[in-house]
Structure 1
Amino acid sequence: MELQHLFDEDLHDDAKPAPFYGRNFIEFCSYKALSLAISQPNYLNDKDFRSLTFDMMLAWEAPELERNLPDSEVASCSNQDVEDGWSLFYSNSTKMAVQVDDKKTVGPEAFARIAPACPVIADTVMVHNLFDVLTSSSDSRLHFLIYDKFLRSLEKVMKSVQNAMGPQLMTSLSLTQNEILIDVDGTIPTQPVLQHIGMSAWPGRLTLTNYALYFESGVGLYDKAVKYDLATDIKQVIKPELTGPLGARLFDKAVMYKSTSTAEPVYLEFPEFKGCSRRDYWLDICLEILRAHKFIRKFNLKGIQKSEALARAVLGIFRYRAVRDAFHISSSNYKTLLCFNLAESLPGGDLILETLSSLLSLISGRVGQDHVRSSPTAKKRHMFPAALLTLSRLGIVHPEKMDMLGEVTYYGGDVCVGESNPLETVVKQLKQDTGRAEAAQATVDQVKVEGIDTNLAVMKELLFPLIEIFNRLSTFGFLGRSLQISDICVILQLFNI
């Protein structure tokens, strides 16, 4: 019962009352197991890891079922050595899953409590939006097949980024050590990216990092890259735009970039036969990086805090890309997966940024054994740069950049056993307020429509005599010709005058 002993020793008393004990104990075990699991290489590609994290959600949703397990199985769950990795949670995950729910589906609260403990899967700001996207066709219940498909797609995104970070591309772009490659487009001849400046247009390769956009003209062989800065405050504007040959505005498939450093606007076109989803994707991810830097400047973030803010934006884009690649749904459904774009679009979104800034301020310049215990509850006294550490473990951030952090024995995410994260609380409140405001506006709009209908009815009644006169004159052929005295007499008789 080593885990239970650690749980009783470390957790505060508020989380131990009977109604919460079982569920909080599952959180404790899950967070400890995940802290070990995500330290393994290529964990996203491990089917056992994907099954385990889903089974944790199933167990969280029905913690009382542990009482029905045979004593021997309960003991086997508790006595596993911590060094065994994620097997310490329980010995038979398949049996546990069947006992909890034959259909193996989980709800939003279970997903929100477990998934953010693995920062690459979710974060506390967007976790409910991610759940809504994954369950858009399954009545708000997450099936394992969908969850598994999402994680496999996420693993492919990570591999794609790692493969793109070859020495040739890094050298041609002259990237700094702080730059993280996010996505590349235009390398396939049948799917070019066209850059329009004035009346000229030419194909090339487009690359986005966490600091800038780079365009290299050419096909196969590329010219020197042109850099479009997203980090410096040079009054950048990024928005959708129409393009066409010789400056004609015909096709709604482009992103416009302009700043004080460009002589005239630059249009980056993403041709495709149907729709503009490719353009919308690049518009969203470019805006996310631009807004992340605006956030950094507004709250004067430096060093590791700045790197963590950018890492959160990058991980959000990777999740967005994984959903986009795996599921063919409207872009309006998954663009809410980007934190800084969401804060920009939600009424009162500044509260999200202020709360995030407060949490980032708790991250110190060095994380070492003096500050960190192996327990998930240690985060009450210290914030971890979880997103940055995740990118480092995945081989996307250069290891030398992480030397300042020292040795870290636990980094889950923003989750803490038995507690709600302030970010999640703020987002929930804003979404509720937005829902109420939209409902109120819909009521006002309906009243306006009904008012217009009522006014039209009143006007029709007032004009009825004139309409009746017109109809009678038209019936007897008195319209369109000169009236004689005899005609006037007939008209007077018609209206009983």
Structure 2
Amino acid sequence: MAATSGSKTKNMIEYVRDESFKLFKKNHNLYNDEFEEMRKSPSAEDKNWIHELSAVANAVVRRCCKVLDVSPDQLRENFEKEASDVTKNPSRYARNFLEYTCFRTLVQSTQVSGYMEDKRFRRLTFDMMLAWEVADAASQPETDIDEDATVGAEAFSRIAPAVPIIANVIIGNYIFEFLTASTGGRLQFSTYEKYLTGLERAIKKLKSQSESSLLSSERSTRGERILEVEGTVTTQPVLQHLGISTWPGRLTLTDHALYFEALRVVSYDTPTVYELADDLKQIVKAELTGPWGTRLFDKAVLYKSSSLSEQVIMELPELKGHTRRDYWLAIVREVLYAHRFIQKFRLTGAERDEALLKAIFGILRIQALGYMSSTIPLCYEAGLMFNVCDQLPGGDRILETVATMLTSKGAERSSSAKSSDIMNSISASTMASSLGSVFGSGLDQSPITVGEITVGEMTPLEKAVDESRSSYKMVADAQATVDGAKVEGLDTNLAVLKELFFPVIEVGNHLLALLYWDEPTKSIAFCLIFSFIIYCGWMPYVFSLLLIYCASSMMLARYSNGKKPVDVLKVTVPPPMNKMEQLLAVQNAISQAEEIVQEGNVVLLKIRGLLLSIFPQASNKFAAALAAFALFMIIVPFRYVAISVFLEEFTKYSPMRRAQTERWMRRMKEWWFSIPAAPVVLERAQEDKKKK
């Protein structure tokens, strides 16, 4: 088997070398050569023509067969033997056979060192997408492949994830949307080639950084790869804020940690390590900075962990916007989230390396997209797999599926060559070995299949991603209504709040009217009915009926409204307030909030005084009242206790008891005011600030 595989790889390399000069011809399409060869063949049998496939698909299959060093007939025989009956269904036969051919070809193509630089490989993957869209014989007439042909999102999402460095199932849609922002949702080969050129550039950058002497002693034990470096250019410094000290320096991100080297006169200081791989309860978030501790500029990243006594802030200043900070925040979080994923699912060995490579490839893809010009701004989080799963609804289920697929590949590795039901795409680890030594140990290690793409069916990962995207669309639509409901101005927001609480206020006013016996007849009826309900123990049924009434009202409103527009909330906007009036309103609100907090503290301190018997006479009365009520609850059945409490509270403002209640409330206030508050001593903590 090893000799056969080596022979096929050698044939493929020779084939690529022999025909690579054709790429330099202007407007030359290698697949049109296949059409010419098929037209010159004397018979259909000599063409090795697959009648179920379109002309474009046949041309792609023919090219793939040359890479695999097999004939189309032999490839078809292999497909018939290995594919399941569902995969060979006539309605999907053409597309499934094409996927089988493409995936096998990509697995072998990506085992050749430097395949990303090969222009034939780039054209091969793009034309696979073209053929996927018109795989069936009835899809397209027998014509040459148009140089201006474009591919859609579904074809890209199906073929591109078969090469993990190009895309994966989770973020493939975002990459396609970014690449086609200016071309109406259709991907052109020129744009696709620019993206792959950017990937090649990002890979070379990663190799040069990781193979350099940067942080060599610190990285040697863990074999870390340097993903990004910032602060080497004087016009784009990085400032570290630690306590009240600020130092410029160089910031380096590896796949295990964040390093900062303070800049001295002619060199850098010993790097400070901020771990991302260990479980240190790290917090990484955006932060505001400014002179003398003010919070003015939104251009910094905060790092905090249980191993640090105080938080560290890395500021990435720029004249306009905060793009640098957003980029660094996203990639640092991607590495942190990847290690949390590894720790959560206890991945080790090859599975751990696979998970880390997913994060590294995501950062490389973001760098490649950053090299390109686009009509839309680049959203870094949307192109990073672990960032996306942290934000998407159901992202935890996506990660669980990824972990299951990673851990289940151990048993499949030994039998991958004999598998007859599932033809998986190449893994990130196997593919990374062909990109250079910085990514892996070489081609001799056992491959790990990711299984993100399966011929003729959706994998569990694809299903989880689709469900999450559907949920995200609902959340995004809901968030749009939330953003539209936000209004400016304290007075306007208070008016909206008052209007929203109007039904609750109305219900409260009716209850207060019953409680204060404004209409004695209604109060008596309410009192008798609820006393009877409490006596019979029907309160749970009453609450259940109320919930059923609410649910029925909601359904009735749904069907009665039909397609009518939803009634909007109409709010009378108060007169506009100038800035000074708004500041005064805020100051008054803060003063009122402070008074409420003060009153709450006084109540708690008085209760503390009662419990500690600071005022024995009041404490004795309070203790006696508690003991009497406890004894009453022990002797009297609970339903009678509940009725007694209800009647006591509901009838105290009735005409017969109002005068007595007022006298009793006055005595209670006098007793409450006589209770002293527990003493309080305020101590100022001495701040030990670091000074350099």
TM-score scaled by length of structure 1: 0.77
Alpha-carbon shift at residue 65 of structure 1 (Å): 4.8
Of 5, 10, 13, the residue aligned with 2:85 is 13
Note if 1:387 corresponds to 2:433. no
Cα distance change of structure 1 residues 138 and 176 upon mapping to structure 2, 3 Å threshold: farther
CA contact (8 A) 1:118 1:412 kept: no
Q: Percent identity?
A: 42
- Please list the CA deviations of residues 208-265 of structure 1 after superposition, one character each: whole Å capped at 9, or x if unmatched: 1111101112277322111100111111111111223444433211111111112221
Match of 2:273 in 1: 227
Note if 1:193 corresponds to 2:238. yes
Match of 1:424 in 2: 462
CA distance in 1, matches of 2:370, 2:299: 18
Match of 2:112 in 1: 40
Match of 2:145 in 1: 97
Match of 1:466 in 2: none
- Please list the CA deviations of residues 45-95 of structure 1 after superposition, one character each: whole Å capped at 9, or x if unmatched: 22211111111000000113588777xxxxxxxxxxxxxxxxxxxxxxxx7
Note if 1:51 corresponds to 2:123. yes
Note if 1:454 corresponds to 2:454. no
Alpha-carbon shift at residue 338 of structure 1 (Å): 1.1
CA contact (8 A) 2:405 2:451 kept: no
For 1:195, the aligned partner's letter is Q
Note if 1:165 corresponds to 2:210. yes
Match of 2:372 in 1: 326
Instruction: Return 5+ residue gaps in structure 2 as ranges.
Output: 1-72, 487-495, 497-565, 576-692
CA contact (8 A) 1:192 1:270 kept: yes
Instruction: Return 5+ residue gaps in structure 1 as ranges.
Output: 71-94, 461-497
Match of 1:206 in 2: 251
CA distance in 1, matches of 2:418, 2:115: 20
Cα distance change of structure 1 residues 242 and 304 upon mapping to structure 2, 3 Å threshold: same
CA distance in 1, matches of 2:284, 2:450: 34
CA distance in 2, matches of 1:336, 1:62: 30
For 1:454, the aligned partner's letter is K
The equivalences for 1:282-293 within 5 A come to: 282-293=328-339
Alpha-carbon shift at residue 362 of structure 1 (Å): 0.8
Alpha-carbon shift at residue 274 of structure 1 (Å): 1.7
Match of 1:256 in 2: 302
The equivalences for 1:266-415 within 5 A come to: 266-328=312-374, 333-364=379-410, 367=413, 370-373=414-417, 379=423, 386-395=427-436, 397=438, 399-400=440-441, 405-406=445-446, 408=447, 414-415=452-453
CA distance in 2, matches of 1:287, 1:60: 36
CA contact (8 A) 1:240 1:253 kept: yes
Match of 2:226 in 1: 181
CA distance in 2, matches of 1:335, 1:285: 8
- Please list the CA deviations of residues 71-128 of structure 1 after superposition, one character each: whole Å capped at 9, or x if unmatched: xxxxxxxxxxxxxxxxxxxxxxxx7422xxx631111111111101111101112112
Q: In terms of mean alpha carbon deviation, does 271-280 or 237-246 score higher?
A: 237-246
Cα RMSD (Å): 3.0
CA distance in 1, matches of 2:202, 2:485: 48
CA contact (8 A) 1:377 1:417 kept: no
CA distance in 2, matches of 1:445, 1:158: 40
CA contact (8 A) 2:229 2:252 kept: yes
CA distance in 2, matches of 1:180, 1:321: 16
Alpha-carbon shift at residue 167 of structure 1 (Å): 4.1
CA contact (8 A) 1:130 1:334 kept: no
Alpha-carbon shift at residue 173 of structure 1 (Å): 3.4
For 1:418, the aligned partner's letter is G
- Please list the CA deviations of residues 7-47 of structure 1 after superposition, one character each: whole Å capped at 9, or x if unmatched: 11111110112221111111111112211221122222222
Of 177, 180, 205, the residue aligned with 1:132 is 177
SS at match of 1:227: strand
Of 187, 204, 210, the residue aligned with 1:142 is 187
CA contact (8 A) 1:214 1:227 kept: yes
SS at match of 1:431: helix
For 2:256, the aligned partner's letter is Y
CA contact (8 A) 1:376 1:412 kept: no
Cα distance change of structure 1 residues 401 and 151 upon mapping to structure 2, 3 Å threshold: closer
Cα distance change of structure 1 residues 399 and 142 upon mapping to structure 2, 3 Å threshold: closer
For 1:40, the aligned partner's letter is V
- Please list the CA deviations of residues 424-470 of structure 1 after superposition, one character each: whole Å capped at 9, or x if unmatched: 2111111112213443565688799986753439x99xxxxxxxxxx
Alpha-carbon shift at residue 375 of structure 1 (Å): 7.5
For 1:37, the aligned partner's letter is S
Cα distance change of structure 1 residues 214 and 140 upon mapping to structure 2, 3 Å threshold: same
CA contact (8 A) 2:283 2:303 kept: yes
CA contact (8 A) 1:320 1:338 kept: yes
SS at match of 1:14: coil
Alpha-carbon shift at residue 371 of structure 1 (Å): 2.6
Q: Relative contact order: is structure 1 or structure 2 higher (C-alpha 8 Å, sep ≥ 6)?
A: 1
Cα distance change of structure 1 residues 443 and 268 upon mapping to structure 2, 3 Å threshold: closer
> Whose Rg is larger?
2
Cα distance change of structure 1 residues 175 and 217 upon mapping to structure 2, 3 Å threshold: farther
CA contact (8 A) 2:299 2:322 kept: yes
Q: In terms of mean alpha carbon deviation, does 440-449 or 135-144 score higher?
A: 440-449
SS at match of 2:570: helix
CA distance in 1, matches of 2:412, 2:464: 28
CA distance in 2, matches of 1:336, 1:376: 36
